[in-house]
Structure 1
């Protein structure tokens, strides 16, 4: 297969010999290119950020703590660059690792055991599968997930309840109130419970080992909660959750600046493009747009197809939110122009962006269900930004009147005659920045 059609992979393992062996297996496939390697969590995250691979292949346990750095890095990379495939290579066949990996869905994930990757083309097949959004599990993991525990290491119902409350991080006094006891009695019960689990684990009781692992993981998760939230949620929201205790469905009224971008004539491009090649272009596009927005402290809300939405002024107010939004739009056009120049050399079609920016009041909240929550802003400013981007040709940004009025000094812009937009009964005034590159 031609080199330019190769699947781009970043490979991570702290063991140099293992890493180079896996690299050799990948190169044999012919359609896979290892574009970068990493030996720890930070190197993996930085490598994925700089190289924007289509797939990450990583060990579970790496420096600095040798716990589950590979899984946590994979989740962060998927959060920053949706669509990136992940192949976890592990020497551990405990099912809880696979459960942790797949807790948010199996699409784009594979979990393989290291001692089996050299058999046939299992590793290459996994890379191809996750690059296309599929998934793969080692058969031994499937067996472990479906095999019932029958080793006789069960706890009483009261001990199970006690263990659960300890794992939740509840203080002894709180547990005592819940079970109608005293803090001293609870402390003694917890000590006895841990001794019982330790004795069972020492004798090889699998369920006791699993409970101790899960308890340890719960404690580590609490200690890392702030760091994990910061990686998984939009900028600043984790801090707000910790400091102010924002509850799901609880709304906050804010004045924000909303930015919406869209690729002009994307449907026409998609009609004739190879889907896998187009997916690679879209992956690179999203990564560059993400950098541009974060560079101006914008909050990236979502990627939907070829569209990008971001807000400035949420979850925390920004006095210069309009200036930052306009600067981010300029950076997005500039970064896309650099991408287009590189794509031209490979014979790929360019993307040209139309961007709309609107300022106004919104309601911000964590919305969704118990199973899935996301940070959302709701209001006319959101709808208007989407309509204004439709007035922008490739390379242009259209600003609402309130956004333009807040800029100091005002940029050179074309004043658009007030016109109706879908869903509004009164005409909308706007200003257009930039020179058109292509017709919409």
Structure 2
């Protein structure tokens, strides 16, 4: 896995690079602003970009906008955004597009090195990694739509699906059997009107319904 890191804090940028190198991940470049990020990806062709949401010169949404540009130019590029706080608008803006290879984590998650490295690998492999706090806040703001058909347990399962957890991972967190998780997921698909498809992407579509509903709030 080849990674470019975009973070204006030198200390955090170098710390992230060191963590990745220890985890056997190749860091091909580290940059401090969005313009450098765009140039670096053009030249280095990484598998994954790890970028801060807020970057110079304005410290607003430069990181997100650069990520959106890169995803349009390089559809197979995986992107993991880091943020100091939960910023729902930025999460929804990126995540309601192509869900493959996308992550959004709070910077505090970096402290759990193994979990952070697992998130990197999952996103680079085409999966998703959403911070539990982001998912929690999005769920709290749900209001009067098809997700209201779900039971409390089904909403818990869907939130963990949005975090990027596998069926076995959800089973471990909720202390359920994998069979029980599978039944809950099938019920979610049914209630959200997601019949089986040849592409087998109902899991992604369920997560998209969850995220797109929040984009309208």
Normalising by structure 2, we get a TM-score of 0.63
Are 1:20 and 2:8 matched, yes or no? no
Counterpart contact for 1:86–1:109, Cα < 8 Å: yes
The Cα offsets for residues 89-116 of structure 1, whole Å up to 9 and x where unpaired, read as 1101132221112121322110010012
The equivalent residue for 1:144 is 137
Whole-Å separation in 2 of the counterparts to 1:42 and 1:17: 20
1:123, CA displacement in angstroms? 2.1
Residue 102 of structure 1, aligned match among 78, 81, 95: 95
1:10, CA displacement in angstroms? 0.3
Whole-Å separation in 1 of the counterparts to 2:77 and 2:111: 23
1:122, CA displacement in angstroms? 2.2
Whole-Å separation in 2 of the counterparts to 1:122 and 1:45: 27
1:133, CA displacement in angstroms? 1.2
Structure 1 consecutive aligned stretches of length 4 or more whose deviation exceeds 6 Å: none
Long gaps (5+) in structure 2: 144-217
Alignment of 1:49-60 (within 5 A): 49-60=42-53
Whole-Å separation in 1 of the counterparts to 2:76 and 2:21: 22
Whole-Å separation in 1 of the counterparts to 2:97 and 2:85: 21
Counterpart contact for 2:80–2:123, Cα < 8 Å: yes
Are 1:36 and 2:29 matched, yes or no? yes
The Cα offsets for residues 319-369 of structure 1, whole Å up to 9 and x where unpaired, read as xxxxxxxxxxxxxxxxxxxxxxxxxxxxxxxxxxxxxxxxxxxxxxxxxxx
1:41, CA displacement in angstroms? 0.8
Whole-Å separation in 2 of the counterparts to 1:109 and 1:20: 22
User: How many pairs were matched up?
Assistant: 143
Structure richer in helix, relative to its length: 2
1:141, CA displacement in angstroms? 0.7
**What SS does structure 1 have at the residue aligned with 2:133?**
helix
Q: Indicate the RMSD between aligned Cα atoms, in angstroms.
A: 1.6
1:149, CA displacement in angstroms? 8.1
Give 1 or 2 for the bigger CA radius of gyration: 1
**What SS does structure 2 have at the residue aligned with 1:121?**
helix
Normalising by structure 1, we get a TM-score of 0.32
Residue 125 of structure 1, aligned match among 102, 111, 118: 118
Counterpart contact for 1:41–1:63, Cα < 8 Å: yes
Alignment of 1:344-363 (within 5 A): none
**What SS does structure 2 have at the residue aligned with 1:48?**
helix
Whole-Å separation in 2 of the counterparts to 1:29 and 1:119: 13
Counterpart contact for 1:55–1:86, Cα < 8 Å: yes
**What SS does structure 2 have at the residue aligned with 1:20?**
helix
Shift in alpha-carbon separation, 1:79–1:149, aligned structure 2, 3 A = closer
Structure with higher RCO (Cα < 8 A, 6+ apart): 2
The equivalent residue for 1:90 is 83
Structure richer in strand, relative to its length: 1
Residue 64 of structure 2, aligned match among 59, 71, 89: 71
Whole-Å separation in 2 of the counterparts to 1:134 and 1:141: 17
Are 1:9 and 2:3 matched, yes or no? yes
